[in-house]
Amino acid sequence: MSSPVSSVDHALAVADAAKGFLPADEAEALRAAARSAPAGVWLEIGTYCGKSTVHLGTVAREVGARLVTVDHHRGSEENQPGWEWHDASLVDPHAGRIDTLPFLRRTLLDAGVEDVVDVVVGTTQSVARWWATPLSFLFLDGNHTEDVAQHDYAGFARHVVPGGVLAVHDVFPDPRDGGQPPWHVVQRAVSSGAFVEVSVHGSLRVLRRTDRPVT
């Protein structure tokens, strides 16, 4: 007789099946990073179809945190037609554009984490203008152009409380491995003294906020 599947195992299987760009070992490292953060409000930048959102949501439930996830759901440059990471099944025929929101909603529903996640649909440029809530965990995984990566750091990292955790995805110190903007963000965070590096796992960097100002 097989043992019953726990709700967390079920959620992780749903995350595994969701579209997205997060290898299993980095997902595990992301969950560990979240578990090391204080409870409170957690923020994910770059939702896509909700793969990492489920990973974070399961831990948020475990520790009693609230998870907010922000995305405009129209896809990044590399997701658009003709680009490397385009997925034609994500195009909404009505809009003639990518719409990942319906996929996200299905992922959260199927994973059973709808009740611990607040979904914000908007650009980070817009949301950063009004965001004022202190964060105990911030996951930066949005648009990877230099301008937007730097904007997202500047706009949201200043809300991370001392002792809070910053995780940055797709960090490639060697340009042969990938784009440089997330790496530049990590260098900025550490060189300012506002964050210290805690761990590296694949392209995931985990930092902890000090009491120095974010600049």
Q: Which residues bind Mg ion (CB under 5 A)?
A: 141, 169-170
Indicate the residue among 14 and 45 with the shorter CB distance to Mg ion. Answer: 45
Residues 204 and 30: their CA atoms lie apart, in Å, by: 8
Indicate the residue among 71 and 110 with the shorter CB distance to Mg ion. Answer: 71
Q: Cα separations (Å) of 164 from 11, 167, 195?
A: 25, 10, 9
Confirm if 67 and 60 have CB atoms less than 8 A apart: yes
Task: Note if 73 is an active site residue.
Answer: no
**What is the distance of C-alpha 185 from the center of its chain?**
15
Indicate the residue among 141 and 152 with the shorter CB distance to Mg ion. Answer: 141
The least CB distance from residue 169 to Mg ion, in Å, is 4
Count of C-beta atoms within a 10 Å radius of residue 195: 26
Residues 8 and 49: their CA atoms lie apart, in Å, by: 18
Give, rounded to a whole angstrom, the gap between the first and last alpha carbons of the chain. Answer: 57
Confirm if 168 and 202 have CB atoms less than 8 A apart: no
Indicate the residue among 30 and 117 with the shorter CB distance to Mg ion. Answer: 30
Question: Catalytic residue among 55, 72, 73, 144, which?
Answer: 144
The least CB distance from residue 141 to Mg ion, in Å, is 4
The conformational region for residue 170 under phi > 0 = left, psi -120 to 50 = alpha, else beta, is left
Give the bridge partners for 168, in sequence order.
140, 205
Indicate the residue among 21 and 131 with the shorter CB distance to Mg ion. Answer: 21
- Determine the length of the chain: 215
The least CB distance from residue 46 to Mg ion, in Å, is 7
The least CB distance from residue 42 to Mg ion, in Å, is 17
Give residue number: closest CB to Mg ion. Answer: 169
The least CB distance from residue 26 to Mg ion, in Å, is 9
Residues with catalytic roles: 144
